[in-house]
Structure 1
Amino acid sequence: MLIRPERNLPTTIDELLGPGLSQRLDRLDVMSRKVFAGRLPGERRSKRRGESVEFDDYRDYTPGDDLRRLDWNAFARFDRFFVKLFRAEEDLGLHILLDCSASMLAGGGDAPSKLLFAHRLAMALAYIGLVNQNRVSVATFGHAGADPLRRLAPLRGRRQTVRVAKFLLESLESSEHAAPSPEADQRGRGAFERALRAFGLAREGSGVVILVSDAMVAEGVESGLSYLVGGGGLDASFVQVLAPSEIAPERAAQSGLVGDLRLTDAETGRGVEVTMSGAIIRQYKQRLDAHIERVQRACAARDVGGVSLTLASRRRGYPSTPRWRSSGSPE
């Protein structure tokens, strides 16, 4: 893969989403393939008041919730805020998991980096969820440090898009300028698995979870996805993001990827000397195809909807269409 820093990182929500995109996103909504326990088939939250008086359950207060739904008797007993839920409501949660490891820096130049694309996708998904009054939470992983996840607590409502944008812009800035570390290999080994395990253990409630990652890990894909969906109650999807130079490295010859080279691991800084030849490139592409198929099988076996996307490039010759879709994912 080729690592090129982005020339101009977005600094506002409008730059992160792109011009005019928010108006188009206003027409979209989050849907689930599953009917979760305790909800009636096909129901969504009504935007009209007073449609149902059948009490169903409590949940913790989320910033942006309607204050009229607070149960003050419960607050007096437990010194915590609880919101009342009613039978005619589907309190759908949208959980977004975003890979920020150094391999996501691949791209740049003619195509956006995987990291930038992933943050833009996360912002668009969060925007759709928030404007439709769904609970939205965002978590990033792959950063330097011991914590497997960096979390933004669940939010609701259009006004909360500013908080999500701030969280994602800070994540993008810190990830874009992260330096390779010799300790990253040991620290990062199994980081994908640990992050999904931490999410699976800590999540509350049912809903839709969307994982955005390049899945460039030697181990932990299968076990990580098992942790993600193991507790049930989630409709999971996996967006695997790949850079054009990862799919067709021979097209990168104009960037100097020919002959005797020293290739450096983006995450650890360790290097290896190679002679780039047609045979080496063919072997690489065979291993990449096998890895993509491995991710596909792991998703299909766990009923995780999935799609692998190659970022568009202005340079001709790069494939830019989805490589696979697992069973249950929308066409």
Structure 2
Amino acid sequence: MSLDAQALADLAAQIQLWGTELGFAELRIADVDLSHIEGKFQDWLDAGYHGEMAYMAAHGSKRTRPAELVPGTVRVISARMNYLPQNAGWRAAEQQHGPDTAVISLYARGRDYHKVLRTRLQQLAERIEAAIGPFGYRVFTDSAPVMEVALAEKAGLGWRGKHTLLLSREAGSMFFLGEILIDLPLPVDEAVGQHCGQCSACIDICPTKAIVAPYKVDARLCVSYLTIELHGSIPVELRPLIGNRVYGCDDCQLACPWNKFAQAAAVDDFAVRNGLDNARMVHLFAWTEAQFLRMLEGSPIRRIGHERWLRNMAVGLGNAAVSMRGDAGIVAALQARLSHPSEMVREHVVWALGRHGVEA
């Protein structure tokens, strides 16, 4: 179906309205020319900063050339959806966790964002199709070789911060991104300027110094990578730096001044489940695999599996020794896992007990 310039402009405006009705905070449109970042992305890969994330290099030029990933693509509808379960006081609450509390990234405490955004983006695409007839499209949410931040930045949803996350003057960085690659030549939105200035708060706060330079992260050092993407043992020298962060890390976002503007979610999918905003590690460490699967059904945390869940908890419990060395409840919880069938779990438990001055 061929649409003239005015019809395309009207459709773009309508897409904004539909997106808001579906719970998105903002939608903007960009072309798909990412040639300006191809060299930087390849340099990042060549440096090995992607670690075990082989998928980052597995698709050749498709990651920076959306029209090769989905032939016929000429535009991307880039959308953001806020995920804070509450607005006022959220940063102060995150800074009050005790040493035996399991710190889980805010985005992972509710329903799996992949499912939420994908479903709603699909509904948006279907609304467009109902209005204009069949067109070429494909929906993505952190699930394919798509440079989400680069496309969102080009669309004007924000700018890439020094921690490499997208930042918005209106909403900070506490939001998810999703895209619809389309074959409709919709009018594009303008990009916005950079607004980090001389600030280095995110770089300074990073517990493992994973932000090796402004706009450059060595994923192999990042707590989110270590607790989520890494399949094997966490390097011993990095374990003390992880603290009680058992799934992901929000430190760079907590320190960012722009997140004083972070907005609460418009949908209830990201409401906290199972008390994961203030759960004790000994409680979560005691979950059997069946309990882990049942309690975290529909959660993004489930993807790491029970073995890595226990690995992460063991590190957190070991680090609790900084202020709770020899705590009877923690030591007993760790000792109960000494016979776990996983060698990796046992090794991390032995390390954790050593932090408490207890021989396995």
Q: Would you tell me which structure has more strand in proportion to its own residues?
A: 1
Higher relative contact order (CA 8 A, sep 6+): 2
Q: TM-score range by the shorter chain?
A: under 0.3
Please report the TM-score for the alignment, with normalisation by the length of structure 1: 0.27
Q: Would you tell me which structure has more helix in proportion to its own residues?
A: 2
